[in-house]
Structure 1
């Protein structure tokens, strides 16, 4: 993508206003906390302290809007406290410019590194540095600075108290995550009716898994309908795929296919009903027709073998998820369908396809699940520091971001102080607020901040000129601007920045500053800060495009490990390796998410591909997605303990695991991977077991090799690596498609 197009696209995304569900009650609660803090500060300490404490309450409320599964009161307290510490230390050094500049560089670098611990912590840390640049100018003595810092902490405490006293959808985010996962599977079931090999995005399941991890305190208070349903949803997805896929035995057309379509439609209706009930905390309204579909007596004569087993498991799992979501047990439910979901949310180790979920499953009872534990907020601090240390290395995108933002903040502060405009902190403040570790967010936020600042300042200036507000009215207008910002926060950066600009004008006006002292220099310095941020990324970038091959290689290695674990389960059913399958699946999902995030960032970058064209990346992605789907089909029917082993699957699993790791190395080195070992293991399978007692496993192994071959074909179209003399190396002799020469 050219720079012109990249700038055009990022500018358009920066000023776009998205349609999002508004949360007026939360906005009113945040504004109420801000109003309480401003009123208390005005009464006790005066306008300057009120302005300073208002920033603390304002930032604490913003922190509670960030997507986090942790208790929101703790986020508000942490935000207010960290801002207070930043302000006090900043004031102690503000009189000595070199010392303050050194503190600004260190503080900004630490805030940049905090993005390694997650976007919530990164945003709070960056906002604290930006606001600190304003608040250090308000006190006039060390005692006042301590008082202002104390009031910032009070602002965080007030916001935290309001969250506790007036909760709004206390478990709303957790409910939405679980409901979104069930709704995504319902949509998947509908798409499978028309496309038996339809793809599925596991991101909702990943979000639900993150939401399922709770602190010990949360585990005691979590609603019953949030227990267990996520683990059942994880097992439903492979069963849906195996029921629909023609490779598992259902013809593309005919009575069996019609029956499968009916079952998928009913499954979608039941999943949607459960999702609606969980989202709103209501009893499940089970569609009678959907439930009756699974009780049709002639199903056994239409479906046989693997499709019939999939239908039976799906029936059981749907009964479980409906009961867990709050529905009453239905008459005619199959044996073993009730009571299997009356357990806490698990980490998935005991909820893979090998767990006893249907009559005839191994054992007589499901192993006792364990609650997914999330560390407390204090226990999170060592983990965050560890994540920051792991990213503190040369070449890390986070380290490059921290270096970039600290250099820009120092440069902006020096230029802002040197220029005869006053309020020079607006330039570094803008830079810190808009800079992010990736290109698209940095540039889009810079455009949004400039446009939003112009609009917000213009509206606020017009209101000040028209009304000439005093201290109390300025405070009221500041609270109204903050409330509007809280309401529109999720609609995009443009609206947010406009409200923030108006809020700052009114708040500083409450402190006695005339609009003529803030408006002109604010606009000019905001423009300069945004320009410095954009220039810094162009000069010292952290492009995602060159790392696409590494992301693709990581995904291949993870998918190969997952597929090998599934085949290993068939080779030795007596082994307790279901946790290995589950962990491999989670690792593959993480690698897939990293690949898609990298592709999304790379698409917006003005950088040409380096050895991986857009077409090659898309084809390789399709091949790896197909590899994961094929492994998932086998996972839906993992053998029970005591089942007949499939010895050739062991050699195939070892060859697959080793070959995919070698293939990942080849991709990183810009070579086309080969699959000779996998092909040899497949040929040996026919030699060792010519009768192919388990044809499903054998046929799936063939599909695995086909997908790996498609991956090599996709990468064979990429730009070849250059030799030392600058010429492209010759391609090896032989057919490009191993299917042309391999004997199956």
Structure 2
């Protein structure tokens, strides 16, 4: 992709506005926290103090809107602690430009490295840099630093207190995550009716698993309908795939296929009803047709063999899901223990290891941290040198738009400038027409921030319109001349966005060159999952369910990393470096098909007293060994070879007793691996293709 096209695409994405479900009560509560802080500061101190101290409540409110499964009050308090420390240090160093720039560079680097711990931690860390920049406009003294840090912390404490006093839709995020998982499976069942090998995006199931991680205290308070349902959703997915697959499930045509389509349609309706009940905390309402299937003695009528077993198992799982959604089933219906969240002490070593893994020159997070550090300090010096007021707005804009990847940095750069331009213009027009006083300015600022919270998920540009107006009203409350404010904020925001974009262009961390590494990791994870399922069939009496489950989680993580890499690389202005678009597409299809083979085998795992299949053990060992070699070859731009697997398959009896499903899946697996090899085989071509993802 050329730079011109990349800029055009990211600009279009940055200006996109999406329709999404709004949460007006949550937005009202967060805006109320800002109003309390501003009102107290106006009453006890001055408009200038009110304008600056409102940042704590504003930023803590922002933290509570991020995608995190921790309690919202905890997020607000954690953000407040970081903001207070940043404010205090900024105050102490603000009187000495050199010392402040050094502190800013170090603090910005640390905030950039915080992205290794996740987007929520990264955003909160970015907000601490922003509040440090804001403090340079205020008088400095030790007592003043402590007072203002306390005010910023107070804003976060107010947000946390409001969350505790006025709880809104408790466990709502967890309910939505679990409901989304069931809804995704309902959509999957509908698509399987028309495409028996339709792909499934595991992200909703991954999100539901993240949402199910709780503390011991949360586990005791969690609603009954959220206990065990996630594991049921996990078990339903492979059974759906097994029923629809024409290789081991229902026949491709004829009455058996029609019956399978009917069962899938009813399953989709039941899963939708379960999702709706979980989301709203209601009873499950199913149609008469679905109820008849759930109550049927022989739900697999007109089906034979593996397809009949899949239909029977599916109906059993659907019935259990309905009971769990209604809170009427046993708490261990899915046989699942709580996924307990580690304590802070247990998390600290993991966080340190995660950050250390990113301390490599080509690591995206390290490069992001270096960019943020350089741009924040440079932007501050340039903004201060310019004959404009509020020079800190330039580095502030840079820090808030910069992300570890190209797409988000450039999208947010465009969205911030456009949103600021519109927001400042609207706020200025309102001010010129209404000529508000101090308290009216404060009320308008609170309304603006409330709208920002309400519309936060509709698009970054919309949020920035509200933020632009919020800043103008706050400064107007403090007595700043708005004519100068409009010019300064627009120009300095443009400068900050330009610095952020230029920094990424000059010191990038492109995803395109790492595509083959991500593909090799996905290939190894897929083979590991297939081998684990094979080994479960090889010796059912010694089967370890945790081995298959762990391999599946590794597969999902590697697949998500690959999908993210493809999405990012597809928008990068980088020329072809090892994989064409067609190679990316074909390799993706082949590995997705391999994962589906594993799902089918998992759905037909034998009982512990079933006869062992020694051929499956030998095949699994050969698969692990061949994949280790193939993964190294993929990274080195060589097509993988699967001769050893062909030899193992040829040695397998053509029609063994008791393991026909495994034998068929092994044959399908080898054929699919051959398709992967063909997709990655070098092709002689006279032209250079743009990066394929």
Short-chain TM bin: over 0.9
Name the CA distance, whole Å, in 2 between partners of 1:261 and 1:422: 68
Partner of 1:733: none
Compare 240-249 and 526-535 and name the one that shifted more: 240-249
Partner of 2:389: 422
Q: Secondary structure at the match of 2:441?
A: helix
Name the CA distance, whole Å, in 2 between partners of 1:373 and 1:218: 9
Partner of 1:134: 134
- 1:99 to 2:99 alignment: yes
Compare 37-46 and 540-549 and name the one that shifted more: 37-46
Partner of 1:573: 540
Partner of 2:48: 48
Name the CA distance, whole Å, in 1 between partners of 2:93 and 2:499: 25
Q: Secondary structure at the match of 1:566?
A: helix
> 1:563-712 residue pairs with structure 2 within 5 A?
563-686=530-653, 691=656, 693-712=658-677
Q: Secondary structure at the match of 1:243?
A: helix
Name the CA distance, whole Å, in 2 between partners of 1:323 and 1:139: 62
Give the Å deviation of 1:378: 6.5
Partner of 1:451: 418
Partner of 1:360: none
**Preserved CA contact (<8 Å) 2:94 2:135:** no
> Residue 407 of structure 2: which of 440, 460, 473 is its match?
440
Name the CA distance, whole Å, in 2 between partners of 1:717 and 1:666: 12
> Residue 342 of structure 1: which of 331, 348, 356 is its match?
331
Name the CA distance, whole Å, in 1 between partners of 2:660 and 2:16: 54
**Preserved CA contact (<8 Å) 2:92 2:140:** no
Partner of 1:213: 213
Give the Å deviation of 1:609: 2.1
- 1:274 to 2:274 alignment: yes
> 1:114-153 residue pairs with structure 2 within 5 A?
114-153=114-153
- 1:533 to 2:522 alignment: no
Structure 1: which 5+ runs fail to align? 329-338, 345-350, 352-365, 721-744
> 1:185-584 residue pairs with structure 2 within 5 A?
185-296=185-296, 302-326=302-326, 339=329, 341-343=330-332, 369-376=336-343, 380-584=347-551
**Preserved CA contact (<8 Å) 1:434 1:530:** yes
Compare 70-79 and 307-316 and name the one that shifted more: 307-316
Name the CA distance, whole Å, in 1 between partners of 2:612 and 2:286: 40
Give the Å deviation of 1:92: 0.6
What CA deviation, in whole Å up to 9, does each residue of 1:653-676 have, x standing for no partner? 001111112111100011111011
Name the CA distance, whole Å, in 2 between partners of 1:289 and 1:576: 38
Compare 675-684 and 60-69 and name the one that shifted more: 675-684
What CA deviation, in whole Å up to 9, does each residue of 1:296-326 have, x standing for no partner? 5666662222112111211211110000000
Give the Å deviation of 1:694: 2.2
| Distance 1:254-1:108 versus aligned 2 partners, 3 A rule | same
Give the Å deviation of 1:370: 2.0
Partner of 1:725: none
Name the CA distance, whole Å, in 1 between partners of 2:156 and 2:199: 45
Name the CA distance, whole Å, in 2 between partners of 1:135 and 1:501: 19
Name the CA distance, whole Å, in 2 between partners of 1:280 and 1:296: 28
**Preserved CA contact (<8 Å) 2:298 2:312:** no
Two-structure CA RMSD over aligned residues (Å)? 1.8
**Preserved CA contact (<8 Å) 2:299 2:315:** no
What CA deviation, in whole Å up to 9, does each residue of 1:272-315 have, x standing for no partner? 11111100000111322112135556666622221121112112
Could you state the TM-score of these two structures normalised by the residue count of structure 1? Answer: 0.90
Give the Å deviation of 1:685: 1.7
Q: Secondary structure at the match of 2:90?
A: helix
Could you state the TM-score of these two structures normalised by the residue count of structure 2? Answer: 0.96
What CA deviation, in whole Å up to 9, does each residue of 1:492-518 have, x standing for no partner? 111111111111111122222221342
Name the CA distance, whole Å, in 1 between partners of 2:641 and 2:97: 61
Give the Å deviation of 1:692: 5.6
Partner of 1:79: 79
| Distance 1:22-1:294 versus aligned 2 partners, 3 A rule | closer
What CA deviation, in whole Å up to 9, does each residue of 1:77-120 have, x standing for no partner? 11122111111101111111111111000000000000000000
**Preserved CA contact (<8 Å) 1:551 1:591:** yes
**Preserved CA contact (<8 Å) 1:285 1:327:** no
Give the Å deviation of 1:148: 1.1
**Preserved CA contact (<8 Å) 1:623 1:711:** yes
Q: Secondary structure at the match of 1:251?
A: coil
**Preserved CA contact (<8 Å) 2:299 2:311:** no
| Distance 1:220-1:294 versus aligned 2 partners, 3 A rule | closer
What CA deviation, in whole Å up to 9, does each residue of 1:662-721 have, x standing for no partner? 1111000111110111111112223xx77565222111111000010000100114579x
Q: Secondary structure at the match of 1:343?
A: coil
Structure 2: which 5+ runs fail to align? 686-693
| Distance 1:377-1:151 versus aligned 2 partners, 3 A rule | farther
Give the Å deviation of 1:429: 0.7
The structure 1 segments of at least 4 consecutive aligned residues displaced by more than 4 Å after TM superposition are 294-301, 376-382, 689-693, 717-720
Name the CA distance, whole Å, in 1 between partners of 2:227 and 2:348: 28
Name the CA distance, whole Å, in 1 between partners of 2:8 and 2:138: 39
> 1:173-188 residue pairs with structure 2 within 5 A?
173-188=173-188
**Preserved CA contact (<8 Å) 1:560 1:661:** no
Partner of 1:348: none
